[in-house]
Structure 1
Amino acid sequence: MSDPEPCRMKHTEDPEEQRDLMEVKEESEELSEVKEEREELSEVKEESEELREVKEEREELSEVKEESEELSEVKEEREELSEVKEESEELSEGKEEREDLSEVKEEREELSEVKEESEELSEVKKESEELSEVKEESEELSEVKKESEELSKVKEESEELSEVKKESEEEEESEELSEVVEEHHVKPGEKPLSRSKTKKTFLKKRRDKKSFTCTQCGKSFTCKQSLDVHMRIHTGEKPFPCHQCGNSFSQLANLKIHMRIHTREKPFPCDQCGKTFNGASQLKRHLTVHTKEKPHSCSVCGKSFSRLYTLHAHEKIHTGVREYMCFECEKTFTTAESLKLHQRIHTGEKPYKCSHCDKRFNHSSYLKSHEMIHTGEKPHACDQCGKSFVFISQLKRHMRIHTGEKPFSCDQCGKTFICASNLKSHLRVHTKEKPHSCSVCGKSFSQLSNLHRHEKIHTAVREYMCFECEKTFTTTNCLKQHQRIHTGEKPYKCSHCDKRFSRSTHLKAHERIHTGEKPHMCDQCGKSFSFKSHLKRHNQEITQNCQKASGRRGRRERQ
Structure 2
Amino acid sequence: MAFIKEENEDLKIEEAFRVNHEDTEEQTDLVALKEESEVLSEMKEEDQDFITEEKYFSCSQSESSSSRNIAQMTGTLNSHSREAYGEKPFKCQQCERSFRLNKYLKNHLRIHAEDKPFTCHHCGKSFCHKGSLKTHMRIHTGEKPYSCPQCRMKFTYKPTFNAHMKSHTGKNPYTCKLCGKSFSQKGNLKYHMRVHTGEKPFTCPNCGKCFSHKVSLKSHMRIHTGEKPYSCPQCGMNFTYKESFDIHLRVHTGENLYNCKLCGKSFSQKGNLKSHMRIHTGEKPFTCDQCGKSFRYKITLNKHTRIHSREKCPICHQCGKNFTDKKDLKNHVVTSHRGEAFHVPPLWKEFHT
Task: Report the TM-score, using the length of structure 2 for normalisation.
Answer: 0.67
Q: Is the 8 A contact 1:242 1:259 kept in 2?
A: yes
**Superposed displacement of residue 178, structure 1:** 1.7
1:416 deviates by 8.3
Tell me if the contact between 1:434 and 1:447 (Cα under 8 Å) persists in the aligned partners: no
* CA root-mean-square deviation: 4.7
1:438 matches 2:312? no
Instruction: Give the equivalent residue in structure 2 for 1:393.
Output: 271
Q: Report if aligned partners of 1:238, 1:251 keep a CA contact under 8 Å in 2.
A: yes
Matches within 5 A, 1:146-295: 146-161=30-45, 163-165=47-49, 167-168=51-52, 171=55, 174-179=58-63, 206=78, 216-217=92-93, 228-295=106-173
- Measured after TM superposition, the shift of residue 383 of structure 1 is 4.3
Instruction: Report the Cα distance in structure 1 between the residues aligned to 2:76 and 2:140, rounded to whole angstroms.
Output: 48
What is the match of residue 29 of structure 2? 145
| Rounded Cα–Cα distance in structure 1 between residues aligned with 2:189 and 2:210 | 20
Q: Which residue pairs with 2:15 in the alignment?
A: 133
Q: Report the 3-state secondary structure (helix = DSSP H, G, I; strand = E; otherwise coil) of the residue aligned with 2:217.
A: helix
| Aligned position for 1:109 | none
Alpha-carbon contact 1:434-1:446 (below 8 Å) kept:
no
1:480-533 deviation digits (Å, cap 9, x = unpaired): xxxxxxxxxxxxxxxxxxxxxxxxxxxxxxxxxxxxxxxxxxxxxxxxxxxxxx
Q: Deviations over 1:160-187 (max 9, x none)?
A: 325525644774674443235976xxxx
- C-alpha distance in 2 between matches for 1:456 and 1:155: 57
Shift of 1:216: 4.6
Query: What's the secondary structure of 1:454's corresponding residue?
Result: helix
**Structure showing greater Rg:** 1
Whole-Å Cα distance in 1 between the matches of residues 107 and 16 of structure 2?
41
Moved more, 418-427 or 270-279: 418-427
Shift, 1:153, TM fit: 4.4
Q: What is the CA–CA distance in structure 1 between the aligned matches of 2:265 and 2:52, rounded to whole Å?
A: 57
Give the secondary-structure state (helix, strand or coil) at the position aligned to 1:254.
Answer: helix
Cα distance between partner residues in 1 of 2:76 and 2:169: 46
Using the alignment, how far apart are the partners of 2:10 and 2:312 within structure 1? 19
Cα distance, 1:226 vs structure 2: 5.2
**Pairing partner for 2:283 from 385, 406, 410:** 406
Match of 1:364 among 235, 242, 247: 242
Using the alignment, how far apart are the partners of 2:319 and 2:127 within structure 1? Answer: 55
| Local SS of the residue matching 1:178 | coil
The residue type equivalent to 1:235 in the other structure is: A
> For the structure 1 residues 326 and 442, does the alpha-carbon distance in structure 2 shift closer, same or farther, using more than 3 Å as the test?
farther
Q: Residues 288 and 305 of structure 2 are in contact (CA less than 8 Å); yes or no, is this contact kept in structure 1? A: no
User: Shift in Å at residue 271 of structure 1?
Assistant: 2.3
For 2:311 and 2:142, locate their aligned partners in 1 and report how far apart those are by CA, in whole Å: 48
Q: Which amino acid in 1 is paired with 2:162? A: K
**Residue 315, structure 1, aligned to residue 193, structure 2:** yes
Give the one of 282, 304, 325 matched to 2:203.
Answer: 325
- Inter-partner Cα distance in structure 2 for 1:425 and 1:355: 33
Distance 1:238 1:153, change over 3 A: same
* 2-structure distance, mates of 1:130, 1:349: 18
Query: Aligned in 2, Cα 1:450/1:252: closer, same or farther, shift over 3 Å?
Result: closer
Aligned length: 314
Asked whether the equivalents of residues 16 and 299 of structure 2 are also in contact (C-alpha less than 8 Å), the reply is no
- Cα shift readout 1:281-327 (whole Å, capped 9, x = no counterpart): 22222234444433222344443233433322222233333222222
Cα shift readout 1:405-437 (whole Å, capped 9, x = no counterpart): 6364979999987556678889999x9x99844
Equivalences for 1:40-79 in 2 at 5 Å?
none
After TM superposition, the score normalised by the length of structure 1 is 0.45
Q: 1 or 2, which has the higher helix percentage?
A: 1
Q: Is the 8 A contact 1:140 1:365 kept in 2?
A: no
In 2, Cα distance between equivalents of 1:221 and 1:240: 25
Residue 147 of structure 1 aligns with an amino acid whose one-letter code is V
SS at match of 2:218: helix
1:348 aligns with 2:232: no
* Counterpart code for 1:312: K
Question: Hey, what's the Cα distance between the residues in 2 that align with 1:301 and 1:410?
Answer: 31
After TM superposition, the structure 1 stretch with the greater mean CA deviation from structure 2, 327-336 or 292-301, is: 292-301
Q: Which amino acid aligns with 1:357?
A: C
SS in 2 for 1:397: helix
Q: Shift of the alpha carbon at 1:379? A: 3.3
User: Are 1:453 and 2:331 an aligned pair?
Assistant: yes
Residues 378 and 389, structure 1, Cα contact 8 Å, conserved in 2: yes
For 1:290 and 1:205, locate their aligned partners in 2 and report how far apart those are by CA, in whole Å.
38
User: Which amino acid in the other structure matches residue 16 of structure 2?
Assistant: V
Q: Give, in whole Å, the separation in 2 of the partners of 1:240 and 1:409.
A: 46
* Contact 1:128–1:421 (CA under 8 A) maintained in structure 2: no
> Which ranges of structure 1 fall in alignment gaps of 5 or more residues?
1-124, 184-201, 462-559
Q: Is the Cα–Cα contact under 8 Å of residues 230 and 242 in structure 2 kept in the other structure?
A: yes
Equivalent in the alignment of 1:378: 256
Give identity over the alignment, percent: 32
Kept after mapping to 2: 8 A contact 1:352/1:364: yes
Instruction: Give the counterpart letter for 1:135 in structure 2.
Output: F
